[in-house]
């Protein structure tokens, strides 16, 4: 023994994310808004343009009647379906407005510029892959300002 006390065990306890202490608010978007969707968000006095797009490797998922009543839980790497998030500053010209873009992974914070995003559910009906409508899609996400 070296005379020091053993550290308490943290086995099984989830590690906190660095941004867990931020004040997250629901992202003003729903699955019924369809994809792609683009909207403006004002946070800490800045207006951002948020774009969410579902990328798919096979257009049959969007076009085929075979998937008419199908829901896709994203990300779905087996089918090649992924939700992507892009953040831009609204008041800048197109070539300079991009703050970043990322593929969404559920329950993993996404840092884009001064904002942090967390997605907990992305369940998309086939019909919402091509646009808006009440087809039962669910999109649960939060946003916070990390620094101004």
Q: Rounded to two decimals, what is the model's pTM? A: 0.84
Q: Does 60 reside within a domain?
A: yes
Q: How far apart are the first and last CA of the chain?
A: 49
The whole-angstrom separation of Cα 49 and Cα 3 is 57
Q: Does 10 reside within a domain?
A: no
Q: Does 17 reside within a domain?
A: no
Q: Does 136 reside within a domain?
A: yes
Q: Does 16 reside within a domain?
A: no
CA torsion, ordered 111, 112, 118, 124, to nearest 10 deg? -140
Q: Which domain holds residue 58?
A: 29-145
28, 63, 110, 147 from 45: Cα distances, Å: 17, 41, 21, 12
pLDDT tens for 13-66 read: 555 566 778 899 999 999 999 999 999 999 999 999 999 999 998 888 777 899
For the chain, the domain total comes to 1
Residue length of the chain: 148
């Amino acid at each position: 023994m070296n005379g020091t006390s053993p550290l308490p065990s943290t086995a099984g306890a989830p590690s906190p994310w660095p941004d867990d202490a931020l004040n997250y608010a629901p992202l003003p978007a729903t699955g019924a808004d369809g994809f792609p969707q683009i909207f403006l968000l004002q946070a800490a006095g800045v207006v951002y343009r948020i774009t969410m797009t579902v990328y798919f490797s096979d257009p049959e998922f969007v076009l085929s009647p075979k998937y008419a009543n199908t829901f896709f839980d994203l990300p779905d790497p087996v089918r090649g379906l992924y939700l992507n998030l892009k953040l831009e500053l609204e008041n800048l010209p197109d070539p300079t407005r991009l703050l970043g873009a990322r593929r969404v992974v559920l329950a993993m914070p996404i840092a884009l510029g001064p904002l942090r995003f967390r997605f907990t559910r992305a369940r998309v009906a086939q019909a919402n892959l091509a646009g808006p409508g009440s087809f039962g899609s669910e999109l649960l996400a939060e946003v916070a300002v990390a620094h101004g």
